[in-house]
Amino acid sequence: MKRIYFVIVAVAAIIYVVSVVRKNKFSIKESFWWMMASFVMLVFAIFPKIFDNLAVFLGISYSPSLLFLICIVFLLFINFRNSKRIAEQQEKITDLAQNIAILRENIGRNKKDD
């Protein structure tokens, strides 16, 4: 009976991600990893023995520790991707600011010539 709650949470996560994408508040490209995480959560909710067997296979004696490990790795991956994207955006902003400064300078020179 407890598994049904986890299945409901996983399905709710999938529905939420899909609805946010449909409202154009989240890109399909970004939602891919969240959908994958939701589907993995759904599979583990339906078949919890897979999770226990995976923990034993990896040599982890306490299977909830594997859950925390997976969550931490997933969040670190998302954090790294976002940091990379922020760095790229900062570079683009710097380039745009420099281009605007050059254009303003050119406009100022053209006004002086007139």
Q: What is the pLDDT of residues 28-45, one digit of tens each?
A: 887 888 888 889 889 988
Q: What is the pTM (predicted TM-score) of this model?
A: 0.69
**DSSP state at residue 114:** -
Instruction: Say if CB 34 and CB 71 are below 8 A apart.
Output: no
Residue 27 has pLDDT above 90, yes or no: no
Residue 14 has pLDDT above 80, yes or no: yes
- 108 sits in the region (left: phi over 0; alpha: psi -120 to 50; else beta) called alpha
Q: Give the integer Cα–Cα distance in Å for 1 and 4.
A: 6
Instruction: Say if CB 38 and CB 10 are below 8 A apart.
Output: yes
Residue 48 has pLDDT above 90, yes or no: no
Phi, psi of 58 (to 5 degrees): -85, -5
Instruction: Please give the structure tokens belonging to residue 64.
Output: 């909830």
pLDDT tens-digit series, residues 58-111: 999 888 898 899 889 989 998 999 999 999 999 999 999 999 999 999 998 888
- Mean pLDDT confidence for 44-65: 89
Can you give the pLDDT at residue 1?
61
Phi, psi of 47 (to 5 degrees): -120, 80
